[in-house]
Amino acid sequence: MVGVSQADVVVNLLIFLIATSLGTELIRHVSRLLHTPLMSLTHAISSVSIVAALIVMVGPKNDFILTLVTVAVALAATNIVSGFMITDRILRLFRRRQRK
């Protein structure tokens, strides 16, 4: 994977900017009540970086590179598993008042 073309960079930059402004807008509307699960959720989502590790894992040039990405896969997998599970666990805690 040598060189990313200039056109790709421009498109990607555009995607990044749009995603950032969309993200900013969406996050602003999240209730403060949910800021803790929000953070665990968005961070779990960013662990999609596991995809990058997997792609490098396809054809590593040497064992050192293979080791680096294997460790990265283990770390990202930990975050994915614990991130989504704990987010759900936190969200289940929020309950409505029971009529007495």
* CB of residue 62 to other proteins, shortest distance in Å: 8
DSSP string, 43-96: HHHHGGGHHHHHHHHHS-SSHHHHHHHHHHHHHHHHHHHHHHHHHHHHHHH--P
* CB of residue 83 to other proteins, shortest distance in Å: 6
* CB of residue 66 to other proteins, shortest distance in Å: 7
